[in-house]
Structure 1
Amino acid sequence: MTEQSAMTTVQVSASPAQVWQALTEPEQIRAFMFGADVDTTWQPGSPIAWRGEYEGRAFADTGTVLEVDPGIRLVVTHYSPLSGRPDTEENHHRLVWSLRDDGESTQVTLEQTLLEGEDAEEAQQNWATVLGQLKEHVERG
């Protein structure tokens, strides 16, 4: 079976270092990711947890940090109990954040693996919202 994914890209008028800080500092994550509190050490193999409330529903999502290449690439797994699926490896998304230095700006690409039955267009729209909020947050300074 071929792995399906959804991909979204945004251009941010900031350096990769500035974007990286926004992706990895809890207070900055909270500012662009629907108020989520993130807890992790950002060390490969360490757990990561996102907690908060989205559209009136509390969430407590979990995952594992897989790869960390500061300013270039961040890979984590993600599981949400709100999915209604059991917490098994095949029900975890893989999220790949890639940063490309374009001189005056940084291209940020987010790729999410899709689980069986998930809609790529819906996932792309969700991540487009997050990346738009990331762009706005970083460019505001």
Structure 2
Amino acid sequence: MTSEDHVATAEVEIAAPAEKVWAALTDPARSPELWFGAEVHTDWALGSPITWSGEWEGRRYQDRGEILAFEPDRLLRLTHFSPLSGEPDLPENHHTLAFTLSGDDATTHVVMTQDNNPSEEAALHSSGMWSQLLQTLKQVVEAS
């Protein structure tokens, strides 16, 4: 198996239309709440950089990536690299994150994937982390 075979996946059903879910997912004011305390900076344009700045276990960090797809209410795809991984900042050490939204006027199904995990164990760990993010997204959207 290669790292391409180890994809982390998380899913959630949110009792709200996709527009409301999308707004929360891409609102910089909500980013620390959703992204484990990190502030997200980007203009959401295709090819633009995106950064996540925060502190993890007492260490300051700035993760980075690039916007690959931005289709409001449907698809957000971006690359992601974290210096905290200890790996060199090379393309083969970057993940692709994808948030796919589908549903109707009352409910949105969100599927989140992260590719390029080095092992099944790493993919399972990432799936758990992304499940937390999606549960927070659900709580934020359904409470507003």
1:20 aligns to 2:22 (yes or no): yes
Query: Which residue is 2:141 aligned to?
Result: 138
User: What is the CA–CA distance in structure 1 between the aligned matches of 2:135 and 2:42, rounded to whole Å?
Assistant: 24
Provide the alpha-carbon RMSD of the alignment.
1.4
Deviations 1:27-63 (A, max 9, x none): 1222222221111110010000000123433221000
Give deviations 1:48-97, integer Å, cap 9, x for gaps. Answer: 00001234332210000000100000000000000000001111100010
The answer to which structure, 1 or 2, has the higher relative contact order (CA under 8 A, 6+ apart) is 2
1:126 and 1:47 map into 2 onto residues whose CA distance is: 23
Moved more, 55-64 or 79-88: 55-64
Preserved CA contact (<8 Å) 1:33 1:133: no
Calculate percent identity across the aligned residue pairs.
41
Which runs of 5 or more structure 1 residues have no equivalent in the other structure? none
Q: Which runs of 5+ in 2 are unaligned?
A: none
Larger mean CA deviation between 72-81 and 103-112 belongs to 103-112
Deviates more, 1:97-106 or 1:87-96: 97-106
User: For residues 2 and 52 of structure 1, what CA distance do their matches in structure 2 show?
Assistant: 27
The alignment covers a number of residue pairs equal to: 141
Mapping for residues 1-141 of structure 1, pairs under 5 Å: 1=2, 3-4=4-5, 5-117=7-119, 119-141=122-144
Find the aligned partners of 1:140 and 1:2 in 2 and give their Cα distance: 37
